[in-house]
Amino acid sequence: MAHLVIAVGTTRKPKLAAVDEAISHMVDVLAPGKRIEIIGVEVESGVTHTPTSREELMRGARQRAESLQDIGKRGNEPWNFFVGLEGGLEVINENGERRVFLESWAYVSDGTSGHFGRSGAVELPSSLAEEVLVRGTELSVAIDQFAGAVGIRDTRGAWGVLTANKISRQESFRVALMAAFAPFYNRSMYGKPAAAACP
C-alpha cells in the first residue's frame, strides 16, 4: 500500500489528535488507498506564547510548517505535507468596545504551495482577556487559574472551558485543518480559472 507522511510542527496530544481526526474525515479525497502516517516534531513558532492578532496567528502557523520543511530537507525525510498549528487571540474594536476572540489556525504545505484554514471563534470573558492582554499572563496559565484546574491546554483547552465542553481544543483545530487542506483534496475547485464576468 502506498504511504503518505504528514509532519506536524508539535508534539502536543490535542493538536496531533486533531490532525488524526481531520485526516480520517478526508483520507478518501486526499489520499485514497494510501496509508497515512502522522509525525509530530517540536518546532518553534517564532511568535509570542499567546499571539494576539490574526496576522501573528497566521505567521506562527506558517513558520511552524516552514521549519518542518527545513528539517525535512536537511534530513532527507519522506514527508509529503507540512502542518503548522497556532492558537491564540484576535483582538478587535467593535462599536468602541474591545472584544477578544480565541481562534485556532492551521497552515498546510506540500512543499510547493501552502494554504491557511481557521476555526470559528469564541469570545473571551473580559476578566480573562484582561489577564492575558494587560497582565501578560500566558493563556494556558490564565485559563488554568480562571477554571481552577491544571493542564487544561493538554486536554479540553480554553475552547472546552469557554464552551462548557461543547467545542474542544481538538475540534477547533480539526475545523482549521479541514479548511487548510481543502485546496489539496478539492483540487478541481481550486484549480478552476475565474469565471468570465457577465455582460
Taking the C-alpha atoms of residue 23 and residue 81, their distance in angstroms, rounded to an integer, is 12
Question: By residue range, what is the domain housing residue 96?
Answer: 3-187
Of 19-28, 55-64, 114-123, 189-198, the one with minimum mean pLDDT is 189-198
What angle do helix axes 169-185 and 13-30 make, rounded to 10 degrees? 30
Structural domain contains residue 199: no
Q: Which pLDDT does position 192 carry in this prediction?
A: 72
Structural domain contains residue 44: yes
Structural domain contains residue 43: yes
Say whether pTM exceeds 0.75. yes
State the CATH number of the domain containing residue 79.
3.90.950.10
Q: Give the model confidence (pLDDT) of 151-186 as tens digits.
A: 888 888 999 999 999 999 999 999 999 999 999 999
Structural domain contains residue 193: no
Number of structural domains (the chain) is: 1
Whether residue 196 has pLDDT greater than 60: no
Structural domain contains residue 197: no
Residue with cell 478552476: 192
Structural domain contains residue 161: yes
